[in-house]
Structure 1
């Protein structure tokens, strides 16, 4: 039979730059399976377990951990080594009762989560569609979707939800003055305040002007995520 898709192999040298892995230890590395995130915006779950959390030392050990149901992502047990995990995802280790949130913060990528916050997640709205019955379906950055009557929520806004039932606890509007987290690029992990929102054009994406560390930068909206109006809604994001 002919091959119906491209190669699933990924060389370590070609892995996304933000992956915190050794580039010269072997030739190939796990590649994320198609799913909620694009390959350039996520980690394979097996790499998180072995190379970041160091819960295992080999692929075989990683498979045993996953197959035994010890790992949950967003409160759902995952057993696929190639399952993609991305920004704001919560990885829980049931045996040790520890949880981590995937966010860029300083030199860290996985930040420990307090027990009271391990069911809360920020979801950025990426699509908004009116469906049958006049209801609105919202699509989020991690592939999840939700049907709601909340017509005041728009694309680029963020919802603080409770997992796994996807209950909206708070709506964070993307507007001038709100706090945002830079999720990609050389400024990833920085938290700033929005000074201006610039409309996009045919050849130029929608941009935002924000300030942090006593400097001002202009970034595409897709690189940032609102995290609060007066202050970040998650304790892990509060600047000490």
Structure 2
């Protein structure tokens, strides 16, 4: 029998740079399972429990915690230590009644969430498809999808939803003047104001001109997420 795919092992030195792990420990580290996020944009749940939240000291302890059903992602119990956790995902630790949201903020990637916000999530629309019956299927950045009658929302807009019910509470348009969060790159974690949206060209992707307090930058739209019009709709995103 021949091997049908490459090795699934991940070396620590090759792990994404945003992972908060010790690079000179054992040679290999747990890698994320294929899912809604690419390998370079998510954290394996087992690594979060051990290396970020320090709820366990080794992989076996992480597996025991997960098998006990004590950890929820977006309100759903997850037991796979290789389950990928990405931007805006909510991690709930049920025994401690604690919740964290994955967003870049300063040197942190997991930020504590207040009780009134631990059931809300921002989802960026990445696809829009017409279906039979006249409804529209919206696809979001975390792999979820939703059927809606409304045709007003566009790719690039963001929905504030309640999880795990996936009920849309509000809609944030991607337009000039809105506030956006930079989710990747040198400016990750910063919130800026959209000054101009530039349409893509043959050799250039669609991009946006952002203004921060100290500078103006031009970024591809894939690196940003609208978070509010006059101010971010989530308190955890408000600049300190």
Q: TM-score, normalised by structure 2?
A: 0.99
Pair 1:13-2:10 in alignment: no
1:40 corresponds to? 40
Matches of residues 156-235 of structure 1 in structure 2 within 5 Å? 156-235=156-235
Aligned counterparts of 2:151 and 2:2: Cα–Cα separation in 1: 47
Could you give the per-residue CA deviations for residues 69-91 of structure 1, whole angstroms, max 9, x where no partner exists?
01000000000000000000000
Matches of residues 1-240 of structure 1 in structure 2 within 5 Å? 1-240=1-240
In structure 1, the residue corresponding to 2:195 is in which secondary structure?
strand
Could you give the per-residue CA deviations for residues 9-57 of structure 1, whole angstroms, max 9, x where no partner exists?
0000000111111100110001100001000100000011000000000
In structure 1, the residue corresponding to 2:50 is in which secondary structure?
helix
Aligned counterparts of 1:164 and 1:130: Cα–Cα separation in 2: 24
In structure 1, the residue corresponding to 2:186 is in which secondary structure?
coil
In structure 1, the residue corresponding to 2:203 is in which secondary structure?
coil
Aligned counterparts of 1:92 and 1:5: Cα–Cα separation in 2: 34
Aligned counterparts of 1:187 and 1:236: Cα–Cα separation in 2: 18
Aligned counterparts of 1:12 and 1:169: Cα–Cα separation in 2: 40
In structure 2, the residue corresponding to 1:188 is in which secondary structure?
coil
Aligned counterparts of 1:13 and 1:41: Cα–Cα separation in 2: 16
In structure 2, the residue corresponding to 1:61 is in which secondary structure?
helix
Aligned counterparts of 2:214 and 2:12: Cα–Cα separation in 1: 37
In structure 2, the residue corresponding to 1:102 is in which secondary structure?
strand
In structure 2, the residue corresponding to 1:226 is in which secondary structure?
strand
Aligned counterparts of 2:48 and 2:139: Cα–Cα separation in 1: 26
Structure 1, gaps ≥5 residues long = none
In structure 2, the residue corresponding to 1:124 is in which secondary structure?
strand
Aligned counterparts of 2:4 and 2:95: Cα–Cα separation in 1: 39
Report the CA distance between 1:202 and its aligned residue. Answer: 1.4
Aligned counterparts of 1:190 and 1:99: Cα–Cα separation in 2: 22
Could you give the per-residue CA deviations for residues 168-189 of structure 1, whole angstroms, max 9, x where no partner exists?
0000000000000000001100
Aligned residues: 240
Report the CA distance between 1:4 and its aligned residue. Answer: 2.1
Please list every run of at least 4 consecutive aligned residues from structure 1 whose deviation after the TM superposition is greater than 6 angstroms: none
Could you give the per-residue CA deviations for residues 81-133 of structure 1, whole angstroms, max 9, x where no partner exists?
00000000000001111000000000111000011000000000000000111
